[in-house]
Structure 1
Amino acid sequence: MQHPHLDTRVSPLRQRLIDDMNMRRFSRETQRNYLRDIGRLATFLGRSPDTATADDLRRFQIEQQEGGVPVPTMNSIVSALRFFFTQTLDRPDLARRLVRLAHPRNLPVVLSRDEVARLLNATTCLKHQAALSVAYGAGLRVAEVSMLKVADVDSERMLLRVERGKGGRYRNAMLSEGLLTLLRQWWKVGRQQGVMHRDGWLFPGQHAMKPISTRQLYRIVVEAAQAADIAKRVGPHTLRHSFATHLLEDGTDIRIIQVLLGHAKLNNTALYAKVATRTVRTVTSPLDKLGLFKPAEAFPDV
């Protein structure tokens, strides 16, 4: 439920904010999060958020920190408020008052190639296998898999057109021969089932006119992981992490991986270098190149 200041008294302001987000092609989920986070400030102030002062913002962030709000949540709120003050209100001076906190990023959970194969084979139908294969084979986010249309599969250029990437950005994702073969099989079965249409969704939901939900895709991954006896905590994003890590281990340039993932910053892609164990194992230590030491026998049991 939105704060009353955003719902009624300042509804023109709320509409202006929504128009600004629509203009930048923000996803529905991002818009919902931004409205909720700006509503937090309105609740704190007890009045319209466009009346906030620099001191208000300082007190708001101090209260959040003292209240134990997690750092990632605080940073998400900062993103929403910076957009609001910079784009909707044209008050960049206030946006600069918002502090983004540093926090250590957890290393992503990555599946081995064998685990990915087991997971894909543990799906219960061709549609589910095809959807998860797109997540792994093209490195797509779960929302991007959900929003794919049949027309987004470009078999001539061997690309998947991703129209609703993060931040509303468009990009081309890779389409491998194996993935194309699987999608063609799914197209044939989907047509026979009467759920696939040339101008429709690649993965229709329970109602053919709506796409499969991200929640359902999450459930499909979790159930397949359980069926495949994979003990790791797995979600749809795990397949994207595994895609990037396996490419890096195969020697693909990290900047190419950055483009394939649709990352705006190389820093985000560089995180995968920390989990690419095969890459570490293929590097020869400069110590070994000195040739000072002969291969030793195995350590004796203690």
Structure 2
Amino acid sequence: MTSTETDALLVTAQPDLNNRVSMWLDHLSDERRLSDKTLVAYERDLLQFLRFLTGHLGGAPALKDIADLRPADFRGFLAYRRRAKVQSRSLARGLAGIRSFLKFLERRGEVNAAASDAVRPPRQARSLPKPVSSRDAIDITSGDLAMESDAWIEARNTAVLTLLYGCGLRIAEALALTGKMAPKQGTKTMRIVGKGRKERIVPILPAVTQAIDQYLKLCPYAVKADGPLFLGARGGPLNPRMIQLAMEKLRSALGLADTATPHALRHSFATHLLAGGGDLRTIQELLGHASLASTQIYTEIDSAHLLAAYDKAHPRR
């Protein structure tokens, strides 16, 4: 928690409640092992709720006030945020964070979380991931398009993008690899630490190994065993923005839509595996999804492609 946010919490909540917030955040970090981004989002959402309660109740809330909340209070908060033009996805995430805090207090025997459970989260419009086609994914990761003046930077970008498509990695996971983690010829698998520090094993394709080998041969800097595998132009850790910019150049050269981002290669990995006969459970493990529901969305993409092909090709369309 930043000092500014800590000061804001102290003003927004009474000392006993502020103490429980700190305990909850420690619990999420140490025991639940949530990612830093998730922790920041939960903290921010709870802070917004406490600020709302300060105005709603006429003063900074204490632990007793949290215990006395009714469903109408939570609905009032959602309506308040809706008036601020907050989207349904953010509202639902905010409610989830508040419920997590209340469940934590409930396990301590200090409140009853039933009031928040009685409130339905806002209905969200489901948006499907937008993968690139297999042909475009191969063009992106082939390294045939010379987009950089320095050959080693071109090789580096190709290696990172090949990891995203060939192994289904998130960009943060690829850039977190160290020199000693670089797969060598004959390597079959690699251990990846993903969201929430959860580990998974991913297969390594020969194309991935070859791309990383080429980058290491051309890299003008020494890649240390315990240092980052992928380096920036000045030899420091590679900024993910550089890969996003590289993808923008490739997107322009290949005439692809703006949805062709580095993360779209991860979507492509999953979609193309599913289309090739991969089962959902295996794809879930390869992606590092905690829930199968997160993986099932790729079945909708595959179905959408089938229906589009049907509509386009059927003679009675």
- Structure 1 partner of 2:26: 19
Q: Please, what TM-score do these two structures have when normalized by structure 2? A: 0.76
The answer to whether the 8 Å contact 1:20/1:88 transfers is no
Q: 2:279 aligns with which of 248, 253, 264?
A: 253
CA shift for structure 1 position 27: 2.1
Aligned counterparts, 1:110-189, within 5 A:
110-120=131-141, 121=143, 122=145, 124=148, 125-153=154-182, 155=184, 158-163=188-193, 165-189=194-218
- Structure 2 partner of 1:80: 97
CA distance in 2, matches of 1:96, 1:207: 52
CA distance in 2, matches of 1:5, 1:68: 23
- Number of equivalent positions: 282
CA shift for structure 1 position 7: 5.8
CA shift for structure 1 position 154: 5.2
CA shift for structure 1 position 6: 2.2
Q: Please, what TM-score do these two structures have when normalized by structure 1? A: 0.79
Q: 1:202 to 1:249 in 2, by over 3 A?
A: same
Q: 1:254 to 1:37 in 2, by over 3 A?
A: same
The answer to whether the 8 Å contact 2:179/2:229 transfers is yes
Partner of 1:54, secondary structure, is: coil
CA distance in 2, matches of 1:154, 1:134: 11
Q: 1:106 aligns with which of 127, 132, 135?
A: 127
In structure 2, stretches of 5+ residues that fail to align are: 55-59, 149-153
- Structure 2 partner of 1:54: 69
Q: 1:42 to 1:229 in 2, by over 3 A?
A: same
Q: Does 2:239 match 1:218? A: no
CA distance in 2, matches of 1:167, 1:98: 27
CA distance in 2, matches of 1:133, 1:233: 18
Q: Does 2:88 match 1:71? A: yes
* Amino acid of the structure 2 residue aligned with 1:161: R
- Structure 1 partner of 2:113: 93
Partner of 2:113, secondary structure, is: helix
The answer to whether the 8 Å contact 1:248/1:279 transfers is no
CA shift for structure 1 position 19: 1.9
CA shift for structure 1 position 17: 3.5
- Structure 2 partner of 1:288: none
CA distance in 1, matches of 2:105, 2:277: 44
Bigger drift between 29-38 and 217-226 goes to 217-226
CA shift for structure 1 position 276: 2.4
- Structure 2 partner of 1:39: 47
In structure 1, stretches of 5+ residues that fail to align are: 285-295
| Superposed CA RMSD | 3.2
- Structure 1 partner of 2:57: none
The answer to whether the 8 Å contact 1:134/1:145 transfers is yes
Q: Does 2:7 match 1:4? A: yes
The answer to whether the 8 Å contact 1:107/1:271 transfers is yes
